[in-house]
Chain A
Amino acid sequence: AQSVTQLDSHVSVSEGTPVLLRCNYSSSYSPSLFWYVQHPNKGLQLLLKYTSAATLVKGINGFEAEFKKSETSFHLTKPSAHMSDAAEYFCVVLPNQFYFGTGTSLTVIP
């Protein structure tokens, strides 16, 4: 069975401080993993994806994620939060169809 768990439904950080959004997955297969971002009333934009190449994946807007098989984790990080990063973030696992996490809402405090 495949599933994905986003450990925090809401994360709040101050502008300029690091961001950590946590994601754990379970998969019977070697998964592909994705992070998507959604701004209010907008579609989803791909931030980054892991497809069994390098375990540290760099994405757009300064985000990156590290695939840790031993921990079944794929946490999303950014060294310094910007106000424009405030959005909903979804972790997604894929062997043959997308399984979405329930989302983490990121608030950035000026």
Chain B
Amino acid sequence: DGGITQSPKYLFRKEGQNVTLSCEQNLNHDAMYWYRQDPGQGLRLIYYSQIVNDFQKGDIAEGYSVSREKKESFPLTVTSAQKNPTAFYLCASSIGRAQGGYGYTFGSGTRLTVV
């Protein structure tokens, strides 16, 4: 079955460390997205990528970095510059630019906790 796989499900990070969250999709979707979810704030867009080797900042990109070397993969690195990284992170993909009613497919999320 096609879908999006996020790993790990739970991740613990020490202060000052960089960590990378994995997102892989086998849906042949062109576009991929990273969202951060905090209680009472819904989902906020961190980065998105329309095609391979291209990505754009979302609303809260500071302290994060991404790469899109392959169509199937869109890893997110949470750097030490991110002051409040504890959150639930969701990866999503869509067929194109998500216009015209094409819904997203979401991964099951990674919960990152800073210890």
Interface positions of A (Cβ within 8 A of B): 9, 32, 34, 36, 41-46, 49, 51-52, 90, 94-98, 100-103
Rank and list the top 3 A-B pairs by shortest CB-CB distance, nearest first: A51-B101, A43-B106, A100-B42
| A32 adjacent to B97 (CB under 8 Å) | no
Nearest opposing residue in chain B for A95, CB measure? B99
How near does chain B come to A66, taking the closest CB pair, in angstroms? 17
Kindly report which residue of chain A lies nearest to residue B41, judged by CB atoms: A102
Binding site for A on B (CB under 8 A): 4, 6, 9, 33, 35, 40-45, 48, 88, 90, 92, 97-101, 103-104, 106-109, 111
Q: How far is the CB of B50 from chain A (nearest CB, A)?
A: 11
Are A43 and B90 in contact, CB atoms less than 8 angstroms apart?
Answer: yes
Instruction: List residues of chain B with CB within 8 A of the CB of A9.
Output: 40
Docked Cα-Cα span, A34 to B102, in Å, equals: 10
User: What is the distance, in angstroms, from A42's C-beta to the closest C-beta of chain B?
Assistant: 6
A9 vs B39: C-alpha distance when bound (angstroms): 10
Q: Can you list 15 residue pairs at the A/B interface with Cβ under 8 Å?
A: A32-B101, A41-B9, A42-B109, A43-B90, A43-B106, A43-B107, A44-B90, A46-B103, A49-B101, A98-B45, A98-B104, A100-B35, A100-B43, A103-B40, A103-B42
Q: CA–CA, A51 to B97, complex, Å?
A: 15
The one of A32, A43, A98 in contact with B100, judged by C-beta atoms closer than 8 angstroms, is A32
B99 touches A96 (CB 8 A): yes
